[in-house]
Copies of this chain bind each other. A is one copy, B any other.
Amino acid sequence: MTDDRMSVREIAKLAGVSTATVSRVYRGVGSVSAATRAKVQAAIEQYGYRPSHLGEALANRRHGALAVVFPGLSGPYFAELINGVESVAVPRQVSVHVIGTHLRREAPDELLDVARRVDGMAIHGGTVPKTVIMELAARHPVVMIGPDPHPAPVVVRTDQQAFRLLVSHLLADHGLRKLVFVGNPEGSPDLTERWEAFAAAHAELGLRPGKQLRTGLEQTHGVQAADEVLAGGFDGAVCGNDETALGLMMAVLGRGLRVPGDLVITGVDDVPMSSLVSPGLTTVARPLAELGATATRLLLDLINGADVVPETVLPSRLVRRASCGCRD
């Protein structure tokens, strides 16, 4: 239980070689005679020797770790993003610290501390104040995931075209005229962009923007928004993401009402649930895993001192299912 691991020097002594040789054998580099290699291997296996990560990292001047900073970590959205991150980090042997700032009392200070333990960080838009990002970015490799109003060195994001298309679709094709935007743009760059696209789509048809109902981005928030949405006499609820949309849908169905009959509901992200529920959720598919993977790839490049394009925009795509009235 107590961690009484062996050090290189001990293994070296036991195998009757130098620490340099042990290192060479363990990492499989340099040239070592078969005989010596065998001796060392034996010692390593006998004592279950694994080099201390600290010594290794200190000598390499590299932590072999990076941090991903999210506002929260609950839900399929972040899970998928993390999936993408790990898909490139794991094969490259770098470990990932997942940080959910909503848990931290003093997130900013906390992050400066996290920065001491990693080679770089990928930060989700809307998680930390401008000043912190700048302070961080000044000293460490930083990549932003999603839009952020702040001057960030490198950012990876998805476009908003499909979302605008979605709103136009509801307005033009389904003839809806009383849409409510469910989500709070404040503090979320993602939602700010969506709200703007929502308004733009209305303006394009000479319509007034529709109302905005400020809620959080989790399923529970969608459930809690139901009463207000229903009371507002809207014909469609354009939710900021799928989780809110699914929560809202659940609440609406639970009241014995029908979707899209009594209320059209749409989301954004196309999480797994969205294609499974009935009615299927009309939404905007975003390549979340790819978003995480790309951010990680760029971050790693940045860490390695490579030149990195400042902005990468990934495509999103409108997915029409039953909840908007397209089929049932």
Contacts and interface: CB of A to CB of B under 8 A. Distances in A.
Interface of A: 1-3, 5, 48, 50-55, 57-58, 63, 65, 72-76, 78-79, 82-83, 86-87, 90, 95, 97-98, 100, 103-105, 110, 112-117, 119, 137-142, 153, 219-220, 223-224, 246-247, 249-251, 253-256, 258, 272-273, 276-279, 302, 305
Contact of A254 (B90, B277, B305): B277
A89 B256 CA distance: 45
Contacts of A75: 74-76, 79
A95 to B, nearest CB: 6
B302 A279 contact: no
Most chain B Cβ neighbours within 10 Å, of A54, A119, A279: A54
A117 B278 contact: no
A3 B73 contact: no
B255 A278 contact: yes
Contacts of A153: 1
Q: Which 4 A-B pairs have the closest CB atoms?
A: A74-B79, A253-B253, A254-B278, A53-B116
A139 B279 CA distance: 52
A311 to B, nearest CB: 16
16 contacts: A1-B138, A1-B142, A48-B139, A50-B112, A53-B117, A55-B58, A58-B58, A72-B79, A73-B73, A73-B78, A90-B105, A219-B273, A220-B272, A220-B276, A253-B254, A254-B278
Contact of A117 (B65, B103, B250, B302): B65
A79 B90 contact: no
Given A1-B141, A139-B5, A140-B3, A223 B277 contact: yes
A83 B103 contact: yes
Q: How many copies does the complex hold?
A: 2
A50 B278 contact: no
A115 to B, nearest CB: 8
Contacts of A55: 58
B276 A224 contact: yes
Contacts of A73: 73, 78-79, 82, 98
A132 to B, nearest CB: 13
A82 B103 contact: yes
A90 B117 contact: no
Nearest to A221: B276
Nearest to A51: B116
A1 B137 contact: yes
A222 to B, nearest CB: 10
